[in-house]
């Protein structure tokens, strides 16, 4: 690893050495002496100097009305993107009831996490502010099925008149080492009924090895791929004639790097919305992130990277949907964003983020769905300036 770092530094130094550094660059970056460059100045010289502030935004969060007002005893979280059909917005989300006991109790009887023992429900709104809960969309499977414990963290895709919901699944018992998978359901109407896939469409890599029998996810003999433990937060995007399933991977024996959890994103690609989905050989496609938040822009795919890792709180873009580069750094972002898919993606790099849905923790046990708004920031001024 040290050898690879040294080679990268050597290549960077050679690039800088052969670069013609202009007076404009010196002035823009505030560099004192082009013959005495710090590591920071060298990195800055390699930035794309044409990048502006259109990828940068700030945000606020606000309460919603109707059935999305906070309700004690009920968990509503992880809203999907919103679509607009029949003159109203639709959204799907994880719903459960009751407190969470963690792994200290009886995992066969108790609820482990707020997202445990969830079903997928949906709601509609005419204005995106007042919401009506319409009811159950996709339920947990029967005992013994791959999704018998919980179905949650859902995302919507519409293609050629068919509606597709992809979501996380857990099979009982919900133990520390349980491996989450991804399921799929489809319908000819946003109101259902929904047909579920009989098998998961995506599973964790099968190349990690647990150490011993103790329920401890940090004890491993071999960690395996970046997604050897869990595949989370699925989102399918039609792209370049295929279907790109973006997801969060969690690794067996997950560690802390750069002060954050070792979380990375991957993609699996299919010719058909129902699969089969084949993981990209270029995975992982991010060094950081948590919930998946991706959208088409400028002929490529944009991605908001939040919460975990050395590149958290960045907006990234890839012309091919795989090789992402940082386009902007933000102060933070709403959790578990539900994008407004009715927005004009091409108006602005972050236009799809102008308003949408998020969830917020009222307590560890209970979360509720709220709204958010963002705005571009291109300069800064002092008070009264």
* 120-137 pLDDT per residue, tens: 999 999 999 999 999 999
184-193 contact pairs (CB < 8 A, 24+):
184/274, 184/275, 185/137, 185/138, 186/162, 186/273, 186/274, 187/162, 187/163, 188/161, 188/162, 188/163, 189/163, 190/83, 190/85, 190/86, 190/90, 190/122, 190/163, 191/134, 192/137
User: With DSSP H G I counted as helix, E B as strand and the rest as coil, what are the percentages for the chain, rounded to 5?
Assistant: 10, 40, 55
pLDDT score at 43: 86
Question: Is CATH 2.115.10.20 what the domain over 57-376 is classified as, yes or no?
Answer: yes
383 vs 158, residue with greater confidence: 158
Task: Check: pTM over 0.75? Answer yes or no.
Answer: yes
Q: Token digits for 211?
A: 């150490």
Residue that is written with structure tokens 């709220």 in the block: 370
Contact 365, 100 (CB under 8 A): yes
CA distance 296 to 351: 11
Tell me the per-residue pLDDT of 64-83, one tens digit each, with 9 for 90 and over: 999 999 999 999 999 999 99
Q: Which of 162, 182, 109, 169 is nearest to 139 (CA)?
A: 169
Q: What angle do CA 53, 11, 19 make, to 5 degrees?
A: 60
CA distance 47 to 57: 20
Domain ranges of the chain: 2-45, 57-376
- Is pLDDT of 1 > 50? no
Residue 339 — very low, low, confident or very high, per pLDDT cuts 50/70/90? very high
């Amino acid at each position: 690893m040290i050898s690879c770092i040294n080679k990268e530094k050597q290549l960077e130094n050679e690039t800088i050495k052969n670069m013609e550094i202009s007076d404009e660059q010196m002035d823009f970056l505030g560099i004192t002496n082009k013959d005495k460059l710090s590591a920071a100045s060298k990195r800055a010289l390699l930035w794309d100097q044409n990048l502006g502030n259109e990828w940068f935004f700030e945000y606020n969060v606000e309460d919603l009305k109707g059935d999305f007002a906070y309700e004690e005893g009920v968990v509503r979280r992880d809203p999907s993107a919103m679509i607009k059909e029949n003159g109203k917005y639709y959204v799907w989300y994880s719903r459960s009831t009751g407190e969470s006991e963690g792994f200290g109790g009886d995992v066969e009887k108790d609820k482990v996490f707020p997202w445990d023992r969830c079903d997928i429900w949906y709601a509609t709104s005419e204005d995106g502010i007042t919401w009506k809960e319409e009811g159950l969309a996709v339920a947990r499977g029967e005992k013994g099925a791959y999704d018998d414990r919980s179905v949650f963290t859902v995302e919507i895709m519409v293609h050629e008149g068919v509606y597709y919901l992809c979501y996380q699944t857990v099979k009982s018992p919900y133990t520390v080492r349980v491996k989450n998978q991804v399921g799929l359901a489809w319908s000819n109407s946003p109101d259902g009924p929904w047909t579920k896939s009989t098998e998961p469409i995506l599973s964790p890599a099968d190349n990690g090895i647990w150490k011993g029998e103790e329920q401890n996810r940090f004890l491993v003999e071999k960690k395996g791929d970046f997604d050897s433990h869990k595949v989370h937060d699925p989102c399918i995007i039609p792209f370049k004639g295929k279907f790109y399933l973006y997801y969060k991977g969690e690794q067996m024996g997950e560690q802390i790097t750069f002060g954050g959890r070792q979380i990375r994103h991957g993609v699996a690609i299919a010719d058909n919305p129902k699969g089969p989905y084949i993981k990209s050989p270029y995975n992982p496609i991010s060094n950081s992130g948590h919930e998946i938040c991706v959208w088409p822009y400028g002929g490529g795919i944009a991605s908001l990277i939040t919460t975990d890792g050395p590149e958290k709180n960045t907006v990234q873009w890839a012309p091919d949907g795989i090789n992402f580069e940082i386009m902007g750094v933000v102060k933070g972002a709403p959790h578990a964003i539900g994008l407004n898919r009715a927005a004009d993606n091409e108006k602005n790099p972050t236009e799809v983020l102008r308003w949408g849905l998020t969830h917020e923790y009222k307590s560890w046990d209970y979360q509720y769905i709220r709204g958010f708004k963002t705005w571009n920031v291109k300069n800064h001024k002092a008070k009264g300036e």
